[in-house]
Structure 1
Amino acid sequence: MSTLAITHASVVPITADPFEGTLVVTDGRISALGPDVEVPADAEVVDAGGRWLLPGFVDAHTHLGVHEEGEGWSGDDTNEMTDPVTAQVRALDAIYPGDTGFADALEGGVTTVGVNPGSGNVIGGLCVAIHTVGRTVDEMVLRHPVGVKAATGENPKRVYGEQKKMPSTRLGVAAVLREAFVAADNYRRRQRNAEGAGTTFDARDLKLEALVSVLEREIPWRQHSHRADDIATAVRIADEFGYQLVIDHGTEAHLVADVLAERGIPVLIGPLLTSRSKVELRNRSTANPGRLARAGVEISIITDHPVVPIHFLVHQATFAVKAGLDRDTALRSITIHPARALGLEDRVGSLEVGKLGDVVLWSGDPLDVMQHADRVWVQGREAHTRETA
């Protein structure tokens, strides 16, 4: 049995009040925390010296490991742009754990990420949640799948418009989405009819199986949407087919925040530190997370790595606070909220007994851009130590 005890820490559990005290991790999970915790005799003891202890950060929307940095086309596996509907492809199968972005993630205190296919297709494929350390992706997986990635707006209409194929317009994108879900619903009906008749269903289709899992609400529909009209289309189609919708990016989500809040649709907002490189981004602002949160929308801040480098996740939260976001909500937007979006809120995103020992010792308040992630543990094992001159 391995035991880690971090003592004399300024502990920020996220889902409970901060305190000065100790956190204990036993065999990879948090076994005790509080101001008066007894340190086990066999524990490896780390004296925090008053430094801040938080859960590892969570970024629910990245392309970490599937869009390798500095590798050009040979390391870019984000989009299988040969068919507008590729629900059957899996980000899991293209992740390279040696991507330099994983070391950057740990440097920035990010221990859990959602890795998505890209937005070149109307339906891009299956997303996965992983830890940011491991030899193989199989060791790193926390949950698979965590959603199906889809896209509205400029990207798919540009990709297929240039190929002189459908969809080349927003109305074409919506039609492709509806046709895919009708096909999946028909497939589901055939499966049920076969089961009811006691016969073998021998017409498996991986693409339609992925879409059926969305219709059955086993996993959410992760809709890449920037503009308010595209978000409204995403909500409209979700209402028609009854699946669980998550808005990814949501640049103009604040313009329809009441609609999203009423339906309980979360927004994974970002990237925030980018240029307004296309029409969809003209209303990009670090004030938008605060606007959404004040309207009652649950937000998670995302980097879309490598669009914004993964270790700048916390800096985006800092800039959002500077622009009006409540600081407690800012910390939740990079911890427990994205954990919930990935279906991992029972394992990561806060410091609680029974959760994984993914903890980060900061030199001070992580929302202060001058502070550092000094040490990072994933499941109680040290994964990063900051080098000092």
Structure 2
Amino acid sequence: MLRPLTTALAAVLLLAPAYAQDARPSRFAEDPYASTYSPIAAPPVLITGAVVLTGNGERLDGADVLLADGRIVAVGPGLEAPEGATRVDGTGKWVTPGLIDVHSHLGVYPSPGVRAHSDGNEMTNPVTAQVWAEHSVWPQDPGFGAALAGGITALQILPGSANLVGGRGVTLKNVAATTVQGMKFPGAPHGLKMACGENPKRVYGEKSGPATRMGNVAGYRAAFIEAAEYLKKHKPDEAPRSRRGRRSGGSDNDSGSGKRDLKLDTLAGAINGDILVHIHCYRADEMAVMIDLAKEFDFRIAAFHHGVEAYKLADELADAGICGALWADWWGFKMEALDGIQENIALVDRPANSCAIVHSDSSEGIQRLNQEAAKVMANAGRAGMEIAPERAIRWLTRNPAQSMGILEQTGTLEAGKMADVVLWNGNPFSVYAHAEQVWIDGARVYDRGDRTRQPVSDFMLGQGAAQGGAR
């Protein structure tokens, strides 16, 4: 039965978080390239009778999901559709939040993979905190559309791992746009990409250095010492208080005088808590060193990425509030990856307050993150650790959103959050699972059964035209 929006529904929409970032960031995190993303106007949608995984650890059988004005309005049985709503029969199907990939290089290493498109690593200095991945993103990368077909609604694009500090990452909504600003997730904080171990050693060992792991750590320390001094000199009075409730570095009377430095802006923003630190790191001993580095310079690590030995530090990561953004089963392709196990994510997920994430770091893997998670569940089951779908979905939705600073907006199916939703033809952790429909902010942006709802980039359209001309 179709009915007008109720008072309760209107209240949910009124209280929903605004798209613009409410709190003013510090000067180190101000964004001159602000998001121009605007949700696509769409009618209300009521999905009925589905198995719903909310992303908060709940499974609801035979439940409904109501979307309106770009937001989740309600989740539960027997919901009423407002006037003009599109009804979608979810019988026999599953609904999840939109999937989120915390580690992607789409757009900075786009397809086709040619040298002219290699824009992810600024390999000119071990510390290039001044560069921003978004300034390399090519919105026409066909990989974005392929990821959308796999249920990906948001993703963090990071620089590569050649450098000790590679630069800022950017969080995008997975929508078609002409400019990267048109894809930028409104209000999402920047990430800072750092890297441990073999990659910086290999790239700089025959240049200016570092050539050893101890050289790597000396490089991080030197950079953050410089940033801490910069923070003392440049902290403006009006900057917000840090996450610990005090001003981070410098006095309340600092004048903010002195020359601006883009590299130190980023590092100071990380110390100040405005920019989230994501670290490429494989070995447990190196992760422990990086945790000590964060304590020394008073910054917080949002996530360790790849971390094939994260299982050795599962309790420490949970206690420190650090996420493990990990592969299901990649290992053994270099020395620092030799001690990986297939139960890694399952073990990282076991402690209370844990934050395990399945990530891709791959233009192909991002198309099947649900299947990567399914491999973890299967390997864990063989080891006697049964993991239910309602827990595993957190690895793909809630936990990456937490590590990226966007959990208040997306990652779970809760009233008031962005209506980023996937309808699957069955259990999403089956090898036969397909994303049938995908909504971003309540707009149906992908439909497996409707070619007009399967985005094709301008680049791919051009390729088709060229092929047609050749015939």
TM > 0.5 between the two?
yes
Which residue of 2 is the match for residue 279 of structure 1? 335
Give the % identical residues.
36
- What does residue 215 of structure 1 align with? 271
Q: Which moved more, 1:207-216 or 1:194-203?
A: 194-203
Measured in 2, the distance between the counterparts of 1:121 and 1:81 equals: 7
> 110, 131, 149: which one pairs with 2:193?
149
Q: Secondary structure at the match of 1:141?
A: coil
Give distance in 2, aligned partners of 1:74 and 1:55.
36
Paired with 2:365 and 2:315, the residues of 1 have a C-alpha distance of: 31
Q: 1:11 to 1:330 in 2, by over 3 A?
A: closer
Determine the structure 1 residue equivalent to 2:11.
none
Question: Of the candidates 398, 401, 422, which is equivalent to residue 360 of structure 1?
Answer: 422
CA 1:200–1:309 in structure 2 vs 1: closer, same or farther (change >3 Å)? closer
User: For residues 189 and 4 of structure 1, do their structure 2 counterparts lie closer, same or farther at Cα, with a shift above 3 Å needed?
Assistant: same
- Give the corresponding residue for 2:73: 31
The answer to whether the 8 Å contact 1:118/1:124 transfers is yes
Q: Report whether the alignment pairs 1:77 with 2:77.
A: no
Alignment partner, residue 5 of structure 1: 46
Q: In the alignment, is residue 370 of structure 1 matched against residue 463 of structure 2?
A: no
Structure 1 residues 38 and 248: alpha-carbon distance in aligned structure 2, compared to 1, 3 A threshold:
same
Per mean C-alpha deviation after superposition, the further-off stretch among 192-201 and 225-234 is 192-201
- Spell out structure 1 runs of 4+ moving beyond 6 A: none
Is residue 229 of structure 2 the alignment partner of residue 186 of structure 1? yes
1:212-253, Cα deviation, whole Å (9 max, x unpaired): 111111222211100122112211211211211121111111
1:155, distance to aligned residue in structure 2 (A) = 0.3
Q: 1:189-268 counterparts in 2 under 5 A? A: 189-192=232-235, 199=255, 201-245=257-301, 246-268=303-325
Q: Quick one: distance in 2 between partners of 1:368 and 1:10?
A: 14
Q: Of 113, 116, 126, which aligns to 2:158? A: 116
Measured in 1, the distance between the counterparts of 2:309 and 2:203 equals 22
Q: Which shifted more, 20-29 or 187-196?
A: 187-196
- Shift, 1:14, TM fit: 2.0
Give the drift of 1:150.
0.3
- The residue identity in structure 2 corresponding to 1:184 is A
Q: Is the CA contact (8 Å cut-off) linking 1:29 and 1:380 kept in structure 2?
A: yes
Q: Which amino acid aligns with 1:12?
A: L
1:66 equivalent among 108, 117, 131: 108
Kindly state the Cα deviation for residue 167 of structure 1 after the two structures are TM-superposed. 0.7
Question: Which letter maps to 2:356?
Answer: I
* 2:45 partner letter: L
On the 8 A contact 2:169/2:190 being kept in 1, the answer is yes
Output the TM-score relative to the length of structure 1: 0.94
Q: Which residue of 2 aligns with 1:349?
A: 411
- Segment of structure 1 superposing worse, 353-362 or 198-207: 198-207
Shift of 1:273: 4.5
Residue range with higher mean Cα deviation, 321-330 or 167-176: 321-330
Q: Are residues 117 and 145 of structure 1, via their aligned partners in 2, closer, same or farther at CA, if it must alter by over 3 Å?
A: farther
* Distance in 2 separating the partners of 1:120 and 1:211: 18
Letter of the 1:162 partner, please give it: E
Aligned-pair CA distance for 1:148: 0.6
Which residue type is aligned with residue 338 of structure 2? Answer: R
- The number of residues matched between the two structures is 386
Unmatched 5+ stretches in structure 1? none
User: TM-score normalised to the size of structure 2?
Assistant: 0.78
Whether the 8 Å CA contact 1:126–1:145 is kept in 2: the answer is: no
Q: Quote the residue 2:141 is aligned against.
A: 99
Residues 376 and 384, structure 1, Cα contact 8 Å, conserved in 2: yes
Question: How far apart are the structure 2 equivalents of 1:94 and 1:182?
Answer: 29
Deviation at 1:383, TM superposition (A): 1.4
